[in-house]
Amino acid sequence: MAAGTALEAINMATAEEIAAEEFSAVVIKHRPQIFRFLLSSTRDVDLAETLTQECFLKAHRNWASFRGESSAMTWLMRIAINLQKDHWRNRRMQFWRHTQSHAVDMDEASEWLPSGERSAEQKLLARERVGQVAKAVERLSERQRTVFLLRYVEEMELSEIARTAGLNEGTVKAHLSRALGRVRAELGGRR
Amino acid sequence: MSFEDQVNGVGQELDELAEALQDFRLSVHGWSEAVYSRPRSSQSGTAVAPARRRSWRLAAGWALGCVLVAGSLSGGGLYEHRQQQMRIAAERVAEQQRLAAQEMARQEEEDLLAKVDSDVSRQVPSAMEPLAQLMTGDVSQ
């Protein structure tokens, strides 16, 4: 009887250790991507870091309930999107104040464009185009921006975006189409 | 403009869009990687603002902490004072009850003594009065 209880305790401890190791691996693998999505969504380094922390904290708390029905990435991204939404909903005014004071212009990202094998003129043109896209993205609605970033920055499939954002695929397509329309218009306005 | 030109135009526009989206993706990845891997304290361009924010947060944290401590202390003092008041009131009520009980006991004692006295000092029943007179006469003789 006592031996059985001891064995159960050992098994539980082993299971907890395995779970902790699995979670650590998930954090190492997906943290940069979650941070990137939150950074591109909020354009605020501090806020993106805070929300990334919260995301993994929440994931850790609920790790036992994660059944692997979706990929860990989809699950984490869903948590990140919800955290971002909560942040908008609950602290709308504070968020705006925060965003306005600490967020950078999205077109700052164009400074990080790899030069590759482009001429100076091509590089300039490419940076200008990135800036135009960034401006259009800034002006998108929250949902359009989320869908756009998941598709064109994170390169997720439409079905995965639908699962992550809790939308059906048709809605995702519609948001994406409108977002692309804005981007095209912005790029078209350049000419 | 011919149909072919239109198709070519649309094709070119789509190519440009695809290229712009690709560049946008690369830029965001580059930006994120740079920020993610960069130690926070060595951000030369933006280090001042976060440091200032941190100091403000620290100051605000201290202020809030002081307010909470002061509040809890005064709240604790108030609680202590209330407790003392209640203790005094309880003691006062207990004292009053004790005095009332004492008074009641004393009253009962007095009633009992009065009753005993009245019983002891009760006059001889009238039926026995002749005998009493005789006894009185014997004594006088």
Q: Classify residue B24: in a domain, yes or no.
A: yes
Q: Which range has highest mean pLDDT (A100-104, A181-185, B113-117)?
A: A181-185
- On whether residue B6 sits in a domain, the answer given is yes
Structural domain span for residue B33: 1-37
**Are residues A104 and A46 in contact, defined by beta-carbon separation less than 8 angstroms?**
no
Tens of pLDDT, residue by residue over A99-130, are 554 666 666 677 777 777 778 888 888 888 89
Average pLDDT over residues B62-81: 73
Averaged over A140-154, what is the pLDDT? 93
Residue A155 near chain B (CB below 8 Å) = yes
Radius of gyration of chain B (CA): 53
Rounded mean pLDDT of chain B?
74
Q: What pTM, to 2 d.p., does this model score? A: 0.60
Across the interface, of A45, A114, A187, the residue whose CB is closest to B16 is A187
Give the ipTM of the model, two decimals please. Answer: 0.81
Is there a domain that residue B1 lies in?
yes
pLDDT digits (tens, 9 = 90+) for A45-77: 888 999 999 999 999 998 888 877 778 899 999
Residue B75 lies in a domain: no
**Partner A contacted by B16 (CB < 8 A):** yes
Asked if pLDDT for residue A148 goes beyond 90, the answer is yes
Contact between chains at B34 and A129 (C-beta distance less than 8 A): no
How many domains, chain B?
Answer: 1
Q: What's the pLDDT score for residue B43?
A: 43
Work out the mean pLDDT of chain A and round it to a whole number: 83
- CB of B34 within 8 Å of a chain A CB? The answer is yes
Environment class of A88 (CB within 10 Å of its CB; exposed 0-12, middle 13-18, buried 19+) = middle
Residue B28 maps to a domain: yes
CB A136 within 8 A of CB A105: no
Q: What is the pLDDT of residue A63?
A: 85
- Specify the pLDDT at position A82: 93
Rounded CA gap, B32 and A189, in Å?
28
User: Does any domain span residue B70?
Assistant: no
- Is B65 among the domain residues? no
